[in-house]
Amino acid sequence: MGKIVSSAVILGIVGLAAGYFLFGKVGNSYIDLQTLVVPSDAFFKQLGNTIRGVEEIRRKILITGGAGAVIGVVIGVMRTR
């Protein structure tokens, strides 16, 4: 069980990092990590995030991290056999 969880966590983190580097770039720079993690309260920040597509980028990064975690579970199960 420990190998499954550790593989899932490690590959989930690797998937999040890969997703950030694949999808987190807008224009010539990457979106600030705080912008991706913390939702904005101000109306104009939300409007700016909507225009830049931050919600779509956040969703793609989370899907990539989830895929990494699933692959980690599969690898962990295969290692325990």
The residues spanned by each domain of the chain are 2-80
pLDDT of residue 56: 92
pLDDT of residue 22: 95
d(CA 35, CA 17): 15
Question: In DSSP terms, which residues pair with 16 in a beta bridge?
Answer: none
pLDDT of residue 52: 83
pLDDT of residue 53: 85
Using only C-alpha atoms, the chain has a radius of gyration, in whole angstroms, of: 16
Contact 24, 61 (CB under 8 A): yes
d(CA 30, CA 1): 36
SS3 state at 29: strand
pLDDT of residue 50: 82
pLDDT of residue 5: 94
pLDDT < 70 stretches in the chain: none
pLDDT of residue 16: 96
CA pseudo-torsion sign 20, 23, 28, 34: negative
